[in-house]
Chains A and B, each alone.
Chain A
Amino acid sequence: MSGDPQFEGRVVPTAVRVLAYAAVSAFFLSALMGLTAAIRLGLPADWFVNLPFQRVRPLHTLFAFMGMILGIFALAAGVFRFRDWSLKLQTSLLIGFTALAAILVALGHFSGREYIAWPPYLMPFLMAPLVLLVIELWRVRPQAAERSPEAFWLLFTGVGLLLFGLAETQLYLLPAIGGDPVRDLTVQWHGLDAVFAGINVSLYGAAVFFLEPKAKPLRPLPLFSLAGFSMLFTFGHHHYVSPQPSFLKVLALIASLIAAISFVRHLQIYGKLLARNSEERPAHFFLLRSAEWWTVVAIGSGIVFAIPQLNLYIHGTYLVVMHAMGSMIGINVFIILAGGFAMVGYRENSAANIRLGARLVNYSLAGLWVVLAVPSLYRGFLRLEHDFPVIEEAMRPYLWSFPALGLVLLVGLFLVCFEFLGLCFEESSSAVSPARLQGANLDENVAGEGEKA
């Protein structure tokens, strides 16, 4: 089997393998629920009429969300050596929470909130492992910062944002916030934005640890300030048209446009990854390069969607769904899978399946972007004059693409997940050459070094 040389000879703890296994299983279940929801949306009413969408949708988002959370824990615990009891407790709490939340949602006990779908009384079971992770990261801070300062601040900040953001999403339980619709909407989306920023940032940080052999120095202060401002204020662009305070909308617009810097930078990185020699590429490089591509798409589309005059037509359409799907599947799932393969290794003869699966996921996501762009804009224009029944009728011919391409996506994800799940409890043995590790680099500087070599 092949893996990453930095894990050569190292036994990946069982709890880490269990976390990785649970993360990948959660993604697969999420895709299954997503396909079910797409069938319900795209096909006539008398098909699957007994399928309660009000339960399928929260199950879909719950599994996707927990897949990412489990992935963060798996990657962090794969890089650092956490205390055994703490790791086992984190694993048990996370898996127990996921199972319990899924059962309760399936039985009709919801929070009734966007994305954070489980009943609020379960929240302590999710917050506790995050607190444990913060404690473990604090314990290993000297080694972590030595190995890669930039990766460590990303990972640590991400987990902190995740913890704070989750707490903020529960503020609606206070009457002064839940009883004031404008305040509720504004606070809720600020909390959700922090949660997803936390997930993205910590996953990216963990990926840098995994996939870059050289220490990544802290970015220059001006870039850090811009990134921080952008991370803190973009939330307002989720609902420009709501009565949230105007200054938050203006700040959101500025913060969103600043992301153009990040867009250019990721475009350059993707260009360098494309230029890599094919002989240097391990199988998980393909996943990483795809993740980089979808990062470019996500940032680019995010900037375009944040322009208020365009947002009027795009907000609340399937294009926004695609922006979210592309980010979660194309970036986060691929990063977790790539990190997983780097950690547990893979058989040489399974590389073809990994590449094929990743290609199918890429094609289906690209297909969904293309076939939903036109009807989404059409919907955006139609709603200026018409009400929902007219729009629904006009959209019907286009929605078949959701389940059709969703099925292709599920097959692709299955191929990659199947390979990973099969390997999860096998011991990693032989290592690959350092040249192959360089092929997996995300960082432009390190990629440049590889090219020189």
Chain B
Amino acid sequence: MENAQDRNSPRMPRSVLARTLRRVAIMLVAYLAVSNLVVWSSARDWDRSQAEGHEVWRRENCMACHAVFGLGGHMGADLTNVISRRGGPYVEAVVRNGLNKMPAFDLSSQEMEALIEYLARIDALGEYPLKGVRPPAFGRQKEGGLGQQPSPAASNELDREETN
């Protein structure tokens, strides 16, 4: 093993090396094929104007504390449906002033608008956490769309929180 002259050792049948390398190649080629499948099958719609909101989300590392569809940090709330459940003004107030363990962020009006637009786009894609009795195991597509008003229940909770 440690001697370069042993590289072509006659002890090992060439077929073992060939079979080993074939398995490596099969796995890596299969991986690339599945990657292509993932890239092309998951396309929904894309819009360059959303890039700015995504950029703000990434630059401030919101994901460290917040999640989307349950993926991300658990320190803060999952923000998948924050726009429909709480509304854009609520998001802006919390980001500007901070809340509990969340610090305040100094975003420009344009950045704030882009961030809210990005979250509204996420909101329109589906629901998380799923509400109700026995929700569908593979998720639920949202019937509503962008710019929904927060539900009365969410507004009541917001009022309670602000009072506290």
Q: Which of B2, B31, B61, B100 contacts A81 (CB 8 A)?
A: B2
The distance from the CB of B75 to the nearest CB of chain A, in whole angstroms, is 6
B35 surroundings in chain A (CB, below 8 A): 164, 168, 187, 190-191, 194
Q: In the complex, which range does the number of interface residues on chain B fall in?
A: 35 or more
Residue of A53, A157, A233 near B101 (CB, 8 A) is: A53
B69 touching A180 by the CB < 8 A rule?
Answer: no
A181 within 8 A of B: yes
Q: For residue A112, which residues in chain B have a CB less than 8 angstroms away from its CB? A: 57-63
For chain B, residues 43 to 78, give those with C-beta under 8 angstroms from any C-beta of chain A: 43-48, 50-51, 54, 57-65, 67-78
Give min CB distance, B148 to chain A, whole Å: 15
- Asked if A177 contacts B39 (CB within 8 A), the reply is yes
Q: Are A45 and B101 closer than 8 Å at their CB atoms? A: yes
**Are B34 and A233 in contact, with the CB atoms below 8 A?**
yes
Contact status A147-B1, CB under 8 Å: yes
Q: In the bound complex, what is the Cα–Cα distance between A384 and B7 (angstroms)? A: 61
Determine if B12 and A41 form an interchain contact, defined as CB atoms under 8 angstroms apart.
no
Docked Cα-Cα span, A242 to B76, in Å, equals 19
- Alpha-carbon distance A421/B128, docked complex (angstroms): 45
Residue of A nearest to B11 (CB): A146
| A224 vs B30: C-alpha distance when bound (angstroms) | 13
Q: How far is the CA of A287 from the CA of B131 in the complex (A)?
A: 43
In the complex, A243 Cα to B130 Cα: how many Å? 13
- Say yes or no: B141 contacts A243, CB within 8 Å: yes
A318 to chain B: which residues have CB within 8 Å? 74
Please tell me if the beta carbons of B64 and A57 are within 8 angstroms of each other in the complex: yes
Q: Which A residue sits closest to B140, measured CB to CB?
A: A241
For A242, list chain B residues within 8 Å (CB): 69, 71, 125-126, 128, 139
Instruction: List A contacts of B47 (CB < 8 A).
Output: 179
B109 interface residue per 8 A CB criterion: no
User: When each residue 1-36 of chain B gets 1 if its CB lies under 8 Å from chain A and 0 otherwise, what string results?
Assistant: 110001111011000110111011011101110110
Segment at the interface with B among A304-312, A328-336, A443-451 = A304-312
- B41, B42, B122, B126 — which one has the most chain A CB atoms within 10 A of its CB? B42
Q: Interface size bucket, A side?
A: 35 or more
A45 and B100 contact, CB distance less than 8 A: yes
Q: How far is the CA of A248 from the CA of B78 in the complex (A)?
A: 23
Q: Which of A80, A164, A242, A311 neighbours the largest number of chain B CB atoms within 10 Å of its CB?
A: A242
Q: Which residues of A contact B1 (CB under 8 A)?
A: 79-81, 140, 143-144, 146-147
Query: Hey, which chain B residues are within 8 Å of A308, CB to CB?
Result: 137-138
A112 CB to closest chain B CB (Å) equals 3
Q: How far is the CA of A330 from the CA of B39 in the complex (A)?
A: 33
B151 nearest CB neighbor, chain A only:
A387
Chain B residues contacting A152 (CB-CB under 8 Å) are: 20
A369 at interface by CB-CB < 8 Å: no
Q: Residues of B contacting A113 with CB < 8 Å?
A: 58, 63
Q: What's the nearest-Cβ distance from chain A to residue B152, in Å?
A: 13
CB nearest to B45 among chain A residues: A180
Residues of B within 8 A of A178 (CB): 51, 54
List, in ascending order, chain B residues with CB within 8 A of A316's CB.
67, 70-71, 74, 78, 128-129
Q: Which of A40, A140, A179, A388 contacts B50 (CB 8 A)?
A: A179
Contact A248–B41 (Cβ < 8 Å): yes
A153 to B25, CA, bound (A): 9
| Further contacts, 20 of them, CB under 8 A, given A53-B64, A175-B46, A242-B128 | A52-B103, A58-B64, A111-B58, A141-B21, A153-B20, A160-B31, A175-B48, A180-B44, A182-B44, A183-B39, A187-B42, A190-B34, A228-B27, A231-B27, A239-B69, A240-B138, A241-B130, A244-B42, A317-B74, A318-B74
Which 10 pairs, one residue from A and one from B, show the smallest C-beta to C-beta distance? A112-B58, A316-B70, A308-B137, A388-B77, A241-B139, A180-B46, A186-B42, A146-B12, A179-B46, A383-B129
Sampled A-B contacts (12; CB under 8 Å) = A57-B73, A114-B72, A141-B21, A157-B24, A175-B51, A183-B43, A187-B42, A240-B138, A243-B141, A248-B42, A316-B70, A317-B74
